[in-house]
Structure 1
Amino acid sequence: METKSQDSIQDDLKDLLKRCPAGTYEAALAFRQDKDVSQIETIVMGVIDRHLEPEQREILSNSDDDMRMYEDLGMDSLTMLEIVMLVEQTLQVSIDNEELRDLRTIGDVKAYLSAKARGEKPPTRSKTYRIEEIASLMPHREPFLFLESVKIDGDEAAGTYRISGNEYFLEGHFKENPVFPASIMIEALGQLCVFFLLKGESSSLTSKVDPSTIFFTSCDGVKCRRICKPGDELSLKVRVSRIRHPLACFKGEITVGDERTSHAEEIKLAFDYYPVIDAQESSPSVEAGNHEDARHSSTSSNGSSQKEAEAETTPRFVKYVPEN
């Protein structure tokens, strides 16, 4: 089999990165030749830039490692996949889809790829969930779902919700002056607590929580300090205070940027687990006996059953009609 020459390999790499900014190819070549991991930042930024629109590139040029790929750059999942494929080809590494899901910021991507390039285990990250995963798990649905992303780390959960201005209740709250209701902000914190319970990340949860059993019971120490309007992004955070079936208690707060918007000293939810189903099947002889008993019971009590059925047809509540 004919081995590719060094010049041919370089030409292939140059063709692969031909639409990337200046310096990307040189950084990739240095990485290929010397395994210089310091070049990864230039490579990553160049590959991302190649897939962005002009207005997004301007945002990227002023970014830091905390820049979020989806929320701040407006990147969609298809674009992210194209970036991943090009990075894999350039760095000659394999990126796991499960690990990819938790890469939220540019800093996350750099740290992950640096570890992969060194042959090290990628850093452990908190679990992050996007709107599709949230909606598939939550009992809430639009237009009453106020979570767009959630990150769970130990006994804490952080979420985001951007006020679009299209929320149906803003038409009347208030006329020509839309203000996001404080009660809905507390509702959003409650939904974050619900999601935490459903993911079952806490060691205090001994089984899988049934979403149909979760209900709000109380909320204490609530204070609101800032008016929130369309365009604001709510950063929600809750932390477990204690969980003891059937109650779960959380502390929660909401910020917009660096401003503390509202907080609750205690949010209390009632919940229950899915019932445990006994897999033991009845023996055929027992089942046959049960069927025989059922037929006998049906025959012997036919008269009384008929009377009970007639009684059931009698209305239990009679509408009151006042006399003239």
Structure 2
Amino acid sequence: MNSNISNIKKILKTLPHRYPFLLIDRILDFKISNYLKVLKNCTINEPFFQGHFFKNPIFPGVLIIEAMAQAVAILIHKSTGGLNINKLYYFVGIEHARFKKNVIPGDQIFIEVFYLENKKNLIKFKAIAEVQNIKICYATILFYKKSVIN
């Protein structure tokens, strides 16, 4: 089986998102409970480029943050061995987000997420997005782990 097809199938099994809201195309690297690197290909046929902005299309910054959160969700999923009905993880916040450069159609966004800390079930991750080895965005992504009792 083609490794790219296998890769996207794993992503689709991990995340509930689907087109046009699935923002991860490929997992590039992974270290359990520590690190994940993913790729997002930006193509002109994505629907948001039609209106953001006319004659000067740029990838919306909020979707870069969403792609970072999806990368964190994959890192959590792969590090915890999959979904656990008794533990749910919620994307609850963003800290220190900065945008440094626009992303345009044809760019490839490489996103790296790093586990930082877990305090009282609030888990922090550092996220960095780059295009052509230039940092275009960084943020701290917060997830909350909730235990569910049935």
TM-score, normalised by the number of residues in structure 1: 0.41
Residues 1:148 and 2:22 aligned together:
no
Structure 1 residue 249 displacement after superposition: 0.9
Corresponding residue number in structure 2 for 1:157: 36
| Partner SS for 1:166 | coil
Structure 1 residue 247 displacement after superposition: 2.2
Residues 1:130 and 2:7 aligned together:
yes
Give, in whole Å, the separation in 1 of the partners of 2:8 and 2:23: 10
Question: 1:85-137: CA deviations, max 9, x gaps?
Answer: xxxxxxxxxxxxxxxx6xx9xxxxxxxxxxxxxxxxxxxxxxxx711110111
Sort the Cα spacing of 1:138 and 1:273 in 2 relative to 1 into closer, same or farther, 3 A: farther
**For 1:216, which of 91, 104, 108 is the aligned residue?**
91
Any residues of structure 2 matched to 1:239-278 within 5 Å, and which? 239-244=114-119, 246-264=121-139, 266-272=140-146
Question: 1:196-241: CA deviations, max 9, x gaps?
Answer: 111225xxx9x9545x943221111111111100100000000001
Count, aligned residues: 146
Give the strand-richer structure, 1 or 2.
Answer: 2
Corresponding residue number in structure 2 for 1:92: none
Structure 1 residue 269 displacement after superposition: 1.1
Give, in whole Å, the separation in 1 of the partners of 2:77 and 2:58: 30
| Partner SS for 1:130 | helix
Any residues of structure 2 matched to 1:176-255 within 5 Å, and which? 176-201=55-80, 208-210=83-85, 213-244=88-119, 246-255=121-130
Question: 1:21-71: CA deviations, max 9, x gaps?
Answer: xxxxxxxxxxxxxxxxxxxxxxxxxxxxxxxxxxxxxxxxxxxxxxxxxxx
| Partner SS for 2:141 | strand
Any residues of structure 2 matched to 1:69-84 within 5 Å, and which? 77=2
Larger radius of gyration: 1
* Highest RCO, 1 vs 2 (Cα 8 Å, sep ≥ 6): 2
Question: 1:166-212: CA deviations, max 9, x gaps?
Answer: 211111101122100111101100110011111225xxx9x9545x9
Give the helix-richer structure, 1 or 2.
Answer: 1
Any residues of structure 2 matched to 1:7-156 within 5 Å, and which? 77=2, 130-150=7-27, 151-154=29-32, 155-156=34-35
Q: Which structure 2 residue ranges, 5 or more long, are not aligned?
A: none
Q: Which structure 1 residue ranges, 5 or more long, are not aligned?
A: 1-75, 78-100, 105-128, 278-324
Give, in whole Å, the separation in 2 of the partners of 1:191 and 1:274: 22
Aligned AA (1:166): N
**For 1:174, which of 41, 53, 60 is the aligned residue?**
53
Structure 1 residue 273 displacement after superposition: 5.1
Give, in whole Å, the separation in 1 of the partners of 2:112 and 2:65: 11
